[in-house]
Structure 1
Amino acid sequence: MNRKRFLFLLALPFVLLCCQKEAEAPDVNTPALSYTDMAYGNDARQVMDIFLPEERSVEHTKTIFIIHGGGWTEGNKSDMAEAVTYLKKELPQYAFVNINYRLASNNAVNVFPAQEEDIKAAVNFYLNRSAEYLVSEDIVMGGASAGAHLAMLHSYKNDPGRHVKAVVDFFGPTDLVALWNEGVIQQWALSAAIGSLYTDDPDIYVNSSPLNFITDQSPPTIALQGGADIIVIPAQTTLLIDRLNEKGVKNELVYYPLESHGWTGVNLLDSYSKIIAFIKENVE
């Protein structure tokens, strides 16, 4: 072996090690970026806002996905803008994605599982560009009401790569069969989104229930519930916590006895505080 080749081979491990360390470190020259209404599909509703922090890296920068509510038939990502702004300030090292999805209408258009498929498409679109965005493939899924349902459904059912490291459930439906049996209000909302009555198509209710896909490998979950909620009743969250405990999945219940379907003020700030602490404990 000639002397030059010997010296090259001797130096190669150190070169590779330096390159690896450089890749692992956040890029201090990387500015914050945002993309508004980034399309992840062909429908006008299939768009999302992406917020990338400065000094991010593929190894260290995780992403929090936020999904709006509205009974799967209304709502907009703008409804979650305030939450995104607050969480960005408190978790500046995270990227954020705020998702729109197709809305069900007329008991026939964009009914289930259109919303489930949209969340899966949005997450895949983003993760497939993780190298371009300089983010890791570790994510947190969170949402409110119908959005929380979709966050849980994706996390427990549609994440074979186990990219989801934590779930944030703001009063989301967990068992659609049990929810159907609660009364007329719930039946009206569910049939409008699903496009059929439970008695006509029970399988879609079963297959759209996050509770049915929880295993001992499911990600840690924090659930926030109001005790006076008459839409997504507290029993839905009780079922969730019981199943998570049964499977040995780490979880936390935050219960506000006097709150209904959503809250503001001191309790909302308390919710944010507990969510942030839960994420830091389970994802950092």
Structure 2
Amino acid sequence: MENLKYYFLSLIFIITCFNCSNETVEDKETNDLDPTNYYEALNISYGDDVNQKFDLYLPANRNSDTKTIILVHGGGWTSGDKSDMNPIKDLLRQDFPNLAIANINYRLADDNNKAYPMQVQDITAFFNYLKSNKIKYSISENIGFIGISAGGHLSLLWSYAFDNGNNTDMVCSIVGPTNFTDPAYLNNTSVELQEALDLFGVDPTISFLEEASPYHQVTDSAPPTILFYGGKDPLIPTTQGTDLRDKLENLGVVNQLTLYPDAGHGWVGLELLDTWAKLKVFINTHL
């Protein structure tokens, strides 16, 4: 299980070769929210649990039209931290200086606290907090998501099934699971993989697995979706990407899938550069 928890970090660690900024950790917000100035605050609470916190980065000269991109970390639903997404946050600040960025934590699953619905409830709580403070922060209600691994799953699921106001303009999943009823999952023989799937319950019903699967929740009102997968990923079968792509196509939802044939649960070099180049275009087009 430990290997499973940290597979997703291979992608994050490689991204650190890009420009990264130094940060000073703050435990609370300041009162200086002049929208003409850049603003950041770390570890803002959106709930009572220690993990219900987020970091916020607001651009200078923002206004009620400023959109927010939300980063959702991976870690097999049981581990990981928003700090794992800081390299992507730095890339976004560098290439999208007019976007607000929120980097969120959420409650982690264990034997007594199942991943679903707890973690999508956290995203709802966070979004409601952001929405109720939009005037304070001088931002709009429109958002986009970038999620990696488990964070990709949560980003897709919330955008497809829990965004009641249709506020999500685009969603990106990098190696995120999409369908827990995939035969590759139901009939798997991997101990580590099964431990992760058991976070959604031991011998759960098919209807429950469908409820927790973006593939089964997506409709024709889903936001534009961009997907990235590795052809040799030991945790995420390629069908998790190709089947969702096919369903999005059938529903008429704008989508883009990139499959790197020789990559696993993360990639480096030219493939990584390709990911960021495609994601930048997608964000520019849809957010």
Structure 2 length-normalised TM: 0.84
Change (3 A) 1:180 1:255: closer
Pairs within 5 Å for 1:47-58: 47-58=53-64
Partner deviation per Cα, 1:22-79 (whole Å, 9 max, x = no partner): xxxxx996111111011111110111111101110012x1110010011101111111
Tell me which amino acid in the other structure corresponds to 1:235: T
Task: Choose from 34, 37, 40 the match for 1:34.
Answer: 40
Task: Choose from 194, 202, 205 the match for 1:187.
Answer: 194
Q: Quick one: distance in 1 between partners of 2:35 and 2:157?
A: 37
Task: Choose from 126, 129, 138 the match for 2:130.
Answer: 126
Q: Quick one: distance in 1 between partners of 2:263 and 2:44?
A: 35
1:85 is aligned to 2:90: yes
Partner deviation per Cα, 1:215-271 (whole Å, 9 max, x = no partner): 111111010111111201111001110110010001111121111001233322221
In structure 2, list runs of 5 or more residues that go unmatched. 1-32
Aligned-residue Cα RMSD (Å) equals 1.6
Q: Quick one: distance in 2 between partners of 1:248 and 1:121?
A: 30
Partner deviation per Cα, 1:108-145 (whole Å, 9 max, x = no partner): 23542111111111111112211110011111012001
Contact 1:112 1:195 in 2 (8 A): no
Contact 2:35 2:137 in 1 (8 A): no
Tell me which amino acid in the other structure corresponds to 2:194: Q
Contact 1:102 1:110 in 2 (8 A): no
Aligned position for 2:80: 75
Task: Choose from 253, 260, 279 the match for 2:257.
Answer: 253
In structure 1, list runs of 5 or more residues that go unmatched. 1-26
Q: CA deviation at 1:203?
A: 3.0
Decide which structure has the larger Cα Rg and report it: 1
Structure 1 length-normalised TM: 0.85
User: Could you tell me the percent identity over the aligned residues?
Assistant: 38
Change (3 A) 1:276 1:37: same
Q: CA deviation at 1:204?
A: 2.4
Aligned position for 2:4: none
RCO higher in structure (CA 8 A, sep ≥6): 2
1:166 is aligned to 2:170: yes
Aligned position for 1:11: none
Q: Quick one: distance in 2 between partners of 1:109 and 1:278?
A: 35
Pairs within 5 Å for 1:132-147: 132-147=136-151
What SS does the corresponding residue of 1:177 show, helix, strand or coil? coil
Aligned position for 1:109: 113
Contact 1:108 1:195 in 2 (8 A): no
- How many residue pairs get matched? 252
Tell me which amino acid in the other structure corresponds to 2:131: L
Q: Quick one: distance in 2 between partners of 1:234 and 1:38?
A: 37
